[in-house]
A and B are shown apart, each in its own frame.
Chain A
Amino acid sequence: MIRLAGVTVAYGRRAILRGVDLEIPRGKRVAIVGPNGAGKTTLIRTLLALAPFSGTATIGGFDARREGPRARALVGYVPQTPSFPGTLTAAEVVALFQELRGLPADPLPLLRTVGLEDAADSAVRTLSGGMVRRLALAVARIGDPPVWLLDEPTSQLDAEGERLVLDWLDAAGQEGRTVLLATHQLDGLDGVVDRVVLLEAGRIIAAAELPALHARRWVEVVTVPPAPAGLPAAAQVLAASNGRLRLRVPEAVLAEAVRALGRRPLRIHEPRLEDLLRDPYRLLHEGDL
């Protein structure tokens, strides 16, 4: 459904994306994760032909550059910093985008789905950042597009708004929608995306299905030395110095390891999903201990 092949984006000498290849089959939900400046937003903008690029980008088989309108007709997009004409009301904004897609203007049902029905007649310039993002979510749903491109869709949202996005992503899986989601952290998205791709400095450096990532999940346990004799074989001693013993323990044998440690004081650090993706054997920073 979404395909990027050898996509390179450069502004002058600064390369933002360097030969990115990515294929997302119909109905799959993929999260691109990476630090600020990794190229996540640019990657999404490439699919909308908003960034100049070399290589190939297609949506639903339509070339993002040569058949831009046909490709974009399949897409609902939530930009990183959503914005709309400030003098129009929330209802007018939805009506405008409905009409642009050849649909009759009927904004209230969509505004209701994002909890903005009471702000329907408020000018966009008077809405809070979170409300504008909700409005962007409503606009992205216009025409029930089969593809969602979501750039940090939960930023600026309150807990209720975040829940709304997660519910939508959850439902997207059942609806067979293809989702490409850019985020700088995966916390909370566990279970609502199928695949995670790690982008760093414009390159995809790792990718994994979420179940596979969970299968190799581990935690780091910090306690006092020495290492007990009954520690499971899968548990690994990372360091034993300065009166601290650091162990890497696969989640599957965590209970057994804790039992072996007996009544010792201990602290358990859970790695983030992106840490697992980056390097399943990566140590936590000293500062985390």
Chain B
Amino acid sequence: MNSVRVLARWDTRAVLRDRWFVSAAAAFGALTLAAAALALASPPIAGLSSFDRITATLIHLTMLFAPLLGLTAGAGWIAGERETGALVTLLSQPLQRTELFAGKYLGVARALLAAMLVGFGTAGMLLAARVGTDRLPAFLWLVVLALVLAVASLSLGFLLSATAPNRSRALGAALLAWLVLVIVSDLGILGTALILRLPAPVVLVLAALNPVSAFRMAAILGVSGTAELLGPVGLYAGERLGPAGLMAALCAVLVFWAAGAYYAGRIRFTRVVET
């Protein structure tokens, strides 16, 4: 366990010095702040409050950036060290492969969560200063969901990295996964539902299986307190499961992705042959 802590501490330090990660995290922070400022400055639309406008913007930003940051940071990490040979030196030390995987995962996760908290923190402070703290719990819930989505994406990134021979191939797979999760998946479900006239429960399950969609639905549900904004499928789910049940199911999907991809990656990593 001590090895896991040691690796996590040093890997966090190494990630926070990685130019790509720092650039992506800075871009997320800047965009979050800019989006919050713009949403506050724009006139009210269709009765939406400043808080609603900010959270709607943040939800969309998170859907783009949290998977991108998590997938690329995770995918590049182990594969990058495999490519340079640094992984072999670490594996020659008196520790289990599972400890190495866990330490590296925790190290990157800490850096990722810190970067996201900085981004959300600045937006949160702006929100508190301009709108007040009445809706702070809803905002904090959005932050928690965003962090869980980032961790789920990181797990997926580590799964891709576990056996990838080099950083570029792992990053390529990560970007493909990002494209599928963020863009292709929703369009695919939409098209399939229209063509095959899929029933609402099937559409709901298909959509909720995607962690990005699960995050979006959970965030909208958490911020608005109702499933009405989720459309007909959301209404159906709300009626069947109730808002709390739907929220629990969506959170379970996110946690499943975070834990499931982590363990799948760990299994693959323990079996891979370092050539």
Interface on A for B, CB 8 Å cutoff? 11, 45, 48, 50-52, 68-70, 72-73, 75, 77, 79, 81-88, 92, 96-97, 99-102, 136, 139, 149
Contact = CB atoms under 8 A, between A and B. Distances in A.
Interface string B13-24: 110011000000
Interface in B79-124: 81, 84-86, 88-96
A160 B273 CA distance: 36
A81 B89 CA distance: 10
Contact of A79 (B10, B11, B88, B273): B88
Given A68-B96, A82-B85, A50 B91 contact: yes
B42 interface: no
B93 to A, nearest CB: 5
B95 A86 contact: no
Contacts of B18: 87
14 contacts: A11-B275, A50-B92, A72-B92, A77-B89, A77-B92, A81-B85, A84-B86, A86-B86, A92-B13, A99-B10, A100-B7, A100-B94, A101-B94, A102-B2
A86 B17 CA distance: 10
Main SS class of interface, B: helix
Contact of B92 (A11, A75, A84, A86): A75
Given A99-B6, A102-B2, A48 B92 contact: yes
Interface in B1-41: 2-3, 6-7, 10-11, 13-14, 17-18
B89 A84 contact: yes
A88 B93 CA distance: 18
Contacts of A81: 85
A87 B10 CA distance: 10
B89 A136 contact: yes
Contacts, number: 79
Contacts of B275: 11
B274 interface: yes
Contacts of B91: 48, 50
A79 B3 contact: no
Contacts of B93: 72, 97, 100-101
Enumerate the 9 nearest inter-chain pairs by beta-carbon distance, A residue then B residue, closest first: A83-B85, A73-B94, A87-B17, A77-B92, A69-B94, A83-B84, A99-B6, A83-B86, A72-B94
B240 to A, nearest CB: 50
B10 A96 contact: yes
Contacts of B90: 100
Given A85-B11, A97-B93, 15 more contacts: A11-B275, A45-B88, A50-B88, A51-B273, A51-B274, A52-B273, A81-B85, A83-B85, A83-B88, A85-B14, A85-B81, A96-B7, A100-B3, A100-B94, A149-B92
Nearest to B77: A85
A276 B116 CA distance: 64
B6 A96 contact: yes
Contacts of A45: 88, 274
B123 to A, nearest CB: 28
Contact of B89 (A70, A73, A79, A102): A79
A87 B88 contact: no
Contacts of B88: 45, 50, 79, 83
Interface in B168-210: none
A136 B86 CA distance: 11
B225 to A, nearest CB: 44
B17 to A, nearest CB: 4
A70 B7 CA distance: 18
Contacts of B7: 96, 100
B273 A83 contact: no
Contacts of B89: 77, 79, 82-84, 136, 139
Nearest to A77: B92
B14 A88 contact: yes
Contacts of B273: 11, 50-52
Contacts of A82: 85, 89
Given A83-B89, A100-B7, A88 B13 contact: yes
